[in-house]
Chain A
Amino acid sequence: GAGVSQTPSNKVTEKGKYVELRCDPISGHTALYWYRQSLGQGPEFLIYFQGTGAADDSGLPNDRFFAVRPEGSVSTLKIQRTERGDSAVYLCASSLRGEPLHFGNGTRLTVT
């Protein structure tokens, strides 16, 4: 596809459940990023991949959050034991190294 693809676009889950959010980056982009955006706020950095490895995961809020990118392309953000405070739009972005970020449309996560 032409842009970063994120699925699902919306996810409603109950408190305590496990969720997975998927990101399909632009073909050929080696760098992949996850950000989180709460209502009325700017995006907040979560994690950055260069290739398959997490180069910087310092933005993950706690150990309930984990992300993988096993083959250096698609990435999955995993959230265990979801809490209501996890509700936000989760944005994925990709880029060539050192180039500007291209964001996807995000997954809107609602924890009830």
Chain B
Amino acid sequence: GQQVMQIPQYQHVQEGEDFTTYCNSSTTLSNIQWYKQRPGGHPVFLIQLVKSGEVKKQKRLTFQFGEAKKNSSLHITATQTTDVGTYFCADSGGSNYKLTFGKGTLLTVNP
């Protein structure tokens, strides 16, 4: 089935540094959703990307969908300690309910 690869697995940054996580697939992705899971918490929906080349921003977060719809990225500018958590991308496979999640990128921020 569809596999979604995420890199890096872990990222440790100093507060104020930027952070990027990448989501890749060997096949065309339908829609990409991004979730954040705080330590001990549950995944929380951040955004959905649908169109090829789409770019969306939420304050310090920038989400991109590749032109070929085979990759996506999440970039955080000037990280804060509140950004700590695991960021997951998920492919909806066109269904919107049967999400295929990547393994996530665990972000830690040193104050």
What residues make up the interface of A, taking CB atoms closer than 8 Å to B?
Answer: 31, 33, 35, 40-45, 48, 55-56, 58-59, 91, 95, 98, 100-106
Of A42, A43, A45, A100, the residue contacting B45 (CB under 8 A) is A100
Q: Quick one: given A91-B42, A100-B45, A100-B48, are A42 and B96 in contact (CB under 8 Å)?
A: no
Residue of A nearest to B33 (CB): A100
Which residues does chain A contribute within 8 Å of B45, judged by CB atoms? 100-102
Chain B proximity of A34: nearest CB distance (Å):
11
Q: Can you list 14 A-B contacts (CB < 8 A)?
A: A42-B103, A43-B88, A43-B99, A43-B101, A44-B101, A45-B100, A56-B97, A91-B43, A98-B96, A101-B97, A103-B42, A103-B43, A105-B41, A106-B42
Q: Quick one: given A103-B43, A104-B42, A105-B41, are A45 and B48 in contact (CB under 8 Å)?
A: no
Which residues does chain A contribute within 8 Å of B103, judged by CB atoms? 40-42
B29 at the interface (CB under 8 A from A): no
Chain B proximity of A72: nearest CB distance (Å):
16
Interface size on B, residues (CB 8 A): 19
- Give the 5 A-B CB pairs with smallest separation, nearest first: A42-B101, A100-B45, A103-B42, A48-B97, A45-B98
How far is B41's CA from A33's CA once the two chains are assembled, in angstroms? 17
Which residues does chain B contribute within 8 Å of A45, judged by CB atoms? 97-100
What residues make up the interface of B, taking CB atoms closer than 8 Å to A?
Answer: 33, 41-45, 48, 88, 90, 95-104
Chain B proximity of A21: nearest CB distance (Å):
14
How far is B48's CA from A106's CA once the two chains are assembled, in angstroms? 23
Contact B97 A33 (CB under 8 A): yes
Which residues does chain B contribute within 8 Å of A40, judged by CB atoms? 103
How far is B33's CA from A105's CA once the two chains are assembled, in angstroms? 19
How far is B35's CA from A101's CA once the two chains are assembled, in angstroms? 10
How far is B50's CA from A82's CA once the two chains are assembled, in angstroms? 39
Residue of B nearest to A33 (CB): B97
